[in-house]
Amino acid sequence: MTSVVLELEMAARTEDDLGGLVGGGDDAVAQLQTAILDKLRYAVGKRQAIATERDWLMATAIAVRDRIVDRWQAGNELTYQKGQKRVYYLSLEFLIGRLLFDNLNNTQTLETMRAALAGLNVDLDKLRALEPDAALGNGGLGRLAACFMESMATLDIPAYGYGIRYDHGLFRQVMKNGWQQEYPEDWLSLGNPWEFHRPEVVYDIGFGGSIEVVPISEAAVRHVWHPAETIEAVAYDTPTVGWRANRVNTLRLWSAHAADPLRLDAFNRGDHIDALADQVRAASISKVLYPSDATPAGQELRLRQEYFFVSASLQDLVRRHIRTFGHVATLADKTAIQLNDTHPAIAVAEMMRILLDVHHMAWDDAWRITWSTFSYTNHTLLPEALEVWPVPLMERLLPRHMQIIYLLNALHLGAVRRQFPHDDRLLSSVSIIDESQGRRVRMSHLAFLGSHHVNGVSALHTDLMRETVFHDLHAVFPDRIVNVTNGIAFRRWLHEANPRLTRLLVDAVGPSVLDNEAKLTDLRALATDIGFQKRIAAARYMNKLALTEVIRRELEIRVDPAALFDVQIKRMHEYKRQLLNILEAIALYNAIRARPMDDWTPRVKVFAGKAAASYHQAKLIIKLIHDVARVVNSDPTVRDTLKIVFLPNYSVSLAEVIIPAADLSEQISTAGMEASGTGNMKLALNGALTVGTLDGANVEISERVGEDNIFIFGLTADQVSDRRAHQGIDSSDIIARSPVLAEVLSSVESGVFSPDQPDRYQGLVNSLRGHDYFMVCADFDDYYATQRRIAELWRQPEHWWKASILNTANVGWFSSDRSIREYAAEIWNVPTRAPG
């Protein structure tokens, strides 16, 4: 079939199969009903009369998936026919959330499906609530990967996402007496209707063993790796649909299995447990995301995970390239591989192994292809996130890769020595091997050296990369670091998550706003329109009613939807400073109790987020939030003036309820420590005003929305660095000068909020006094004063809603479509095509 015919077929399917924005006619509804009933009978195996809501969910999802498949296969065939360059996005996380509404929105069949199911006496919204969130990520890194996959499909870029099909994800967060407890996610327990199992797509992944040196001539040898252990990677494919089904790409996830699922000899000897040991060991690789690395076994499992999915993905894409183009020599011309953070960095050494050992290329040719193919996104400046692996572990687990890394490092250091002679400090700094604290492999350095471009994810973060973690590598390779500010799938976080606001935007500036994020700027003219402000406020109020019902159902706490909803929803970490937020809440509580007759602005503080299982301090902060909430929410003096809630088990689906209801967005990380953030973009898009430091993408949001429409406080990144260097991190003097902060810390330390264990938070308070690395105390007074300004503005609705509308109007630039267009033009060298 010719590429022209395929393109015409795809265009026709878009028009005929996908329907209009608000649904199709009676024929489309009837066709969907027939499809759903067929799937109910033949795929689910149930009669209509006895079908449960879960059965209807599975039948509906499979019916939607069927409509996607034609478009998916046609797009893949067209890519083959035209010999298009492909992008491969390697990420340890893909936080895709629920897919039913996402796929219905992107295929323009939401209202048609709603009508079809209503005709079968089935409520689509109930089915939506039944669908589990795919437990494939933790926070912003995974959600960014999901947004980027959607935008690549929207912009017609042929792409694959590669990751791990985790059986149990990160963990399910359960609160017991305010303490976080971790339980396995069970998202796959009832099956996943969106995925296709590919048992024929399987690759061997080796670990350990020895290297045989085989002479092939008098001057050359070949290295043959004989792994001691081999595990199979089996593929599962999920179609990823772009807006208006512009293209459907593939998310390919790998599941780990033993080559032999059962040692029959051991089983027949009666050793039934040992007979399964190999399968258990292999399957552990794809069991959970981010297993604790607090033990040597945990460290090894992390490294096994990373190499497992990287090796399977590279073997797969090289096989595809050879099948399409005949030879691996053209790989760099037809392939762009993006490493999403440092986790997949071992891909550089693995690609060299494949090219050298499997395809027998010369070193220089293999390195040219590798370097020209890879690019690397750095997401953090935190030392613990810039992965390093002990050399003994690497040599034992991946001996051939360590040989390659040693040679690569020697060649690299030789070149640096010629360029910068007699600079031993520089050589030590840019070496892949860190010799300072026991020999360790710096994976970020490996990713940097093996990539033609290295990008930061906000303007500030990119500047800090050049100045801090990659300062010396930047001196050696001054043109390698570039910036691509993160973005969000704005249709998911507006059209899908906030249909009330979307309807107002479409009415105000036209339906093209759904195709082109730049059209949001047309809203500026309506920012002072009182009638439009009231409609925006009414939509927000309805969204807040929905959130109050979730809070009531989950926590048995009633909150006032007319109050200011003050939201901090993100991974629990000390640098994100949930602690600063709850300390300010205590200060506000103290002020309300001292002056109960004052006219206070009612406020509901909403927290959500998970702490890593081994991160004790973050879990203690969660407990403090719960202890403070218990005291505040039960105090009759406060009544509805202040409420504090912590919603457990934060997920994409929970975010889709919270974000449209938020009035205030807490983006209060220590300046210089947040790479970008994407929650700040989602909340601003939905009209929440930001209170934040000049950190990450807050800087660019401030520039876009205007200083009058955002609340900036606290030390800048330079001031944080200067204070640490010259004044240290002891905050005793700051506390002594701040009676409000001193009272707050005294009440926490003395057990006011923990009468069952009065000394519970003494260590936490002592760390603030003597080791306040994250500048909580240094920023407290400014933050407290800024919150009072926020409360005052809330009492001026015309000014508040003007600022809210201007936030929505001015943050379209933070669309992931814009981010992907920049990657495509500046890093991947692939064309894009706008939707619509």
Q: What amino acid positions are annotated as catalytic residues?
A: 379, 570-571, 576, 678, 682
SS3 content of the chain, % helix, strand, coil (to 5): 55, 15, 30
Output b/e per residue, 600-623; b: 16+ Cβ within 10 A: bbbbbbbbbbbbbbebeebbbbbb
Which SS3 state, helix, strand or coil, does residue 466 take? helix
- Residue 777 has which token pair? 């105390």
Q: Could you tell me the maximum CA-CA distance found in the chain, to the nearest angstrom?
A: 93
Task: Name the region of 602 (left: φ>0; alpha: ψ -120 to 50; beta: rest).
Answer: beta
Q: Cα-flanking dihedrals φ and ψ of residue 6, to 5°?
A: -60, -40
Q: Residue 85: exposed, middle, or buried by beta-carbon count in 10 A (0-12, 13-18, 19+)?
A: middle
- CA end-to-end span of the chain: 26
Contact 572, 666 (CB under 8 A): no
Helix H or strand E segment including 642:
strand 642-646
Which SS3 state, helix, strand or coil, does residue 22 take? coil
Contact 372, 364 (CB under 8 A): no
- Residue 231 has which token pair? 């595990």
Please state, in angstroms and rounded to a whole number, the distance separating the CA atoms of residues 715 and 713.
Answer: 7
Contact 670, 577 (CB under 8 A): yes
* Angle value at C-alpha 514, between 110 and 75, nearest 5 degrees: 70
Which SS3 state, helix, strand or coil, does residue 109 take? coil
* Angle value at C-alpha 546, between 540 and 552, nearest 5 degrees: 130
Cα dist from 588 to 60, 323, 711, 762, 787, whole Å:
49, 65, 18, 21, 9
DSSP string, 673-729: --S--SHHHHHHHTTPEEEE-S-TTHHHHHHHH-GGGSEE-S--HHHHHHHHHHT-S
The pairing of beta strand 440-442 with beta strand 453-456: unpaired
Please state, in angstroms and rounded to a whole number, the distance separating the CA atoms of residues 674 and 140.
Answer: 11
HSE-CB of 832 using CA atoms within 13 angstroms? 22
Please state, in angstroms and rounded to a whole number, the distance separating the CA atoms of residues 155 and 100.
Answer: 21
Amino acid occupying residue 81:
Q
The dihedral formed by the CA atoms of 547, 501, 656 and 661, expressed in degrees to the nearest 10? -30
Cα dist from 619 to 99, 321, 377, whole Å:
31, 46, 29
Please state, in angstroms and rounded to a whole number, the distance separating the CA atoms of residues 64 and 67.
Answer: 5
Which SS3 state, helix, strand or coil, does residue 61 take? helix
Tokens 């494949």 appear where?
A: 354
Give the per-residue SS3 of 801-815: HHHHHHHHHHCHHHE
Please state, in angstroms and rounded to a whole number, the distance separating the CA atoms of residues 67 and 604.
Answer: 43
Q: Is the dihedral of CA 693, 696, 699, 700 positive or negative?
A: negative
